[in-house]
Amino acid sequence: MKKLVHVAIALGTRPEAVKLAPVVHELRDRGDLFRLTVISTAQHRQMLDQVLALFAIEPDLDLDVMRPDQGLAGLTSRALLGMETALAEVRPDVLVVQGDTTTVFAASLAAFYARVPVAHVEAGLRSRDMANPYPEEANRRLAGVLSSLHFAPTKGARDNLLAEGVDRARTAVTGNTVVDALRLLDASGRAASAPLPFDETLLAGRTPILVTTHRRESFGREMENVFLALRDIATARPDTLLVYPVHLNPNVRGPAHAILGDVPGVVLCDPLDYGAFVRLMRQSRLILTDSGGVQEEAPTFGRPVLVLRSVTERPEASRQGLALLVGTDRTRIVRETLRLLDDETAYAAMSRAKNPYGDGQAARRIITGLARFATGATPLLEPHDEFDPGSSHDV
Q: Which positions are catalytic?
A: 100, 122, 136, 214, 216, 247
How far apart CA 395 and CA 389 sit, in angstroms, is: 14
How far apart CA 374 and CA 394 sit, in angstroms, is: 32
Helix (H), strand (E) at residue 334? helix 330-342
Secondary structure of residue 349 in the 3-state scheme: helix
Secondary structure of residue 344 in the 3-state scheme: helix
DSSP summary character for residue 11: E
Contacts of range 71-78, beta carbons closer than 8 Å, 24 or more positions apart: 72/102, 72/135, 75/43, 75/102, 76/102, 76/105, 76/106
Among residues 16, 65, 14, 53, the alpha carbon closest in space to that of 248 is found at: 14
Among residues 28, 30, 27, 32, the alpha carbon closest in space to that of 1 is found at: 32
How far apart CA 187 and CA 342 sit, in angstroms, is: 34
How far apart CA 80 and CA 61 sit, in angstroms, is: 14
DSSP summary character for residue 195: P
How far apart CA 28 and CA 217 sit, in angstroms, is: 38
* One-letter identity of residue 307: V
What DSSP assignment string belongs to 218-246? GTTHHHHHHHHHHHHHHHH-TTEEEEEE-
What Cα–Cα distance (Å) separates residue 117 from each residue in 111, 123, 190, 241, 289?
7, 15, 35, 48, 34
DSSP summary character for residue 320: T
End-to-end Cα spacing for the chain: 40
Among residues 211, 229, 234, the alpha carbon closest in space to that of 306 is found at: 211
CA atoms within 13 A of residue 31's CA, in its CB half-sphere: 3
Would you tell me how many other CB atoms lie within 10 Å of the CB of residue 264? 8
What Cα–Cα distance (Å) separates residue 347 from each residue in 226, 321, 352?
21, 10, 9
